[in-house]
Amino acid sequence: MLDKVPKLFDAAWKRVRRASAFMKVVYLLLLVVVVAALLQLVPFANRLSTMFGHMSTEAQSVVFVAMLAGFIVFAMFGWKQAQGVESVSGELAKTKEELEVARQDAKLANERWDHLLSVESRGKLWQREWVGDRPNFVQKGHRKTHFLTVINLKGGVGKTTLAANLAAVYGSGKEPLRVLLVDIDFQGTLGDMSVDRPLVLLQRQHDGFVGRLLTTPTPDPALLARLTVPMNRVPSAKVILSNDALELDEFQLQARFFVDQKEDPRFRFLTHFHRAEVFEAFDLVIFDCPPRVTTSVVNALFCSDHVLIPTRMDSGSIDAVPRTLKWLQSLGTLCPAVVVGVVASHVRQRGGKSVGADKKSYDELRELVKSGGGGDTLFQAVVPTSPLVTDPKRGIVAATSGGREVFAAVAAELRQRMMK
């Protein structure tokens, strides 16, 4: 037991060192009291010895036994305290070791995660080779339906306006095409522009939005039919709406694919759209994309034949075109869609020709498209600046005779290019 005494003193000293300033003062006062008591111990011991000598033998035996018992109890208590301190110290040391191991594991995991992010953030996630059976991409020679993706990795360039009005041009007139317009931007701007509000609310009640196509891995013709709603003032065109729930669906699918290559979400649209039911019902399917790379965007590209890139004439929008072209090229052979062209939008014209800064921007855009790998794909036709285009309250302007003329030239050139 005596070997435990130094540990007791060591534990007491550590306790004093860790104590607050107030408690240190208290401990100092206690030490002074103990020292003072020890100084009085010798006179007190003499008096106690004299008193003990006058006691009977029996009384002396009782006192001796009581003192011995007290010493034993005190020693046992001290020993247990020492054991407790030793046990706690051992557990603390073990905990520190486990914490250090956990820190090292966390550091290694973070380094691996950062490495993965650095790789995937450069666009490698969507370029992975597929594992298992890939849904069948039906070649154009075996169907009459064309699939077009309207995309630019910058917002505010007129993608939704162009997609909706192209659908209106093709879906009206003397020989209308049967058009399906698919909104894959969770903001849902296309629905607000092209579909009556009561129909939007009805689809909301029945969860009739495009996200259902992503979360349903197997083809379901009945589901596709439930998702389509009529387009305003365009009898032969229909729309599949989007809502903000699409963002969560896309993120969950992307996260699963990030950690498990077998959880491949890139061909869900291909599964649903490259089917006989769609080929029989529609002549043209147009995907309206958000200004970012999402699961839906990749799905649209992987089941499309053509890509159309609209841009405004400001420098920020023009600079985004080669960036978009570069990303499309990075998809390689996984993406069957080819760039059908780049369309200049909101161009100031006089007498049918671009004027001022927009003429210079148009020439700059042509060179950027060529140097960016897009070849000579810049459209000759442009979408001119017009109150019909810039006023969002007008919605689908191409459904009217005056508005149709704004987009007619671009629609004609696009149709000619798609038919090649």
> pLDDT of 277-330, one tens digit each?
999 999 999 999 999 999 999 999 999 999 999 999 999 999 999 999 999 999
Strand partners, 238: 180, 230
From the list 286, 73, 284, 53, the residue with the least C-alpha distance to 162 is 286
Tens-digit pLDDT profile for residues 180-227:
999 999 999 999 889 999 999 999 999 999 999 999 999 998 999 999
Q: Phi/psi at 55 (nearest 5 deg)?
A: -80, 155
From the list 87, 80, 89, the residue with the least C-alpha distance to 14 is 89
Counting residues of the chain whose pLDDT is more than 70, the rounded percentage is: 70
Q: Phi/psi at 236 (nearest 5 deg)?
A: -95, 15
pLDDT (0 to 100) of residue 328: 93
**Residues near 379 by Cβ (< 8 Å), separated by ≥ 6?**
341, 342, 343, 344, 410, 413, 414
H helices present in 40-56, as ranges? 41-53
Nearest 5°: CA angle at 370, between 365 and 375?
A: 120
CATH homologous superfamily, domain 143-418: P-loop containing nucleotide triphosphate hydrolases (3.40.50.300)
Distance CA 134, CA 197 (A): 38
pLDDT (0 to 100) of residue 119: 42
Distance CA 303, CA 319 (A): 27
Is residue 225 helix, strand or coil? helix
Distance CA 250, CA 169 (A): 31
What's the predicted TM-score (pTM) here? 0.71
Task: Please return the burial class of 46, using the count of CB atoms within 10 Å of its CB with bins 0-12, 13-18 and 19+.
Answer: exposed
H helices present in 238-286, as ranges? 245-259, 268-273, 276-281
Q: Which helix (H) or strand (E) holds 316?
A: helix 315-330
Counting residues of the chain whose pLDDT is more than 90, the rounded percentage is: 48
Structure confidence at residue 268 as a pLDDT band (50, 70, 90): very high
Is residue 373 helix, strand or coil? helix
pLDDT (0 to 100) of residue 124: 79
- Sketch the domain layout of the chain as residue ranges: 2-123, 143-418
**If you average pLDDT over residues 129-154, what whole number do you get?**
90
Q: What is the dihedral of CA 322, 324, 327, 333, to 10 degrees?
A: -100
Distance CA 153, CA 319 (A): 10
- CA-derived radius of gyration, the chain: 40
CA 351 to chain CA centroid, Å, is 47
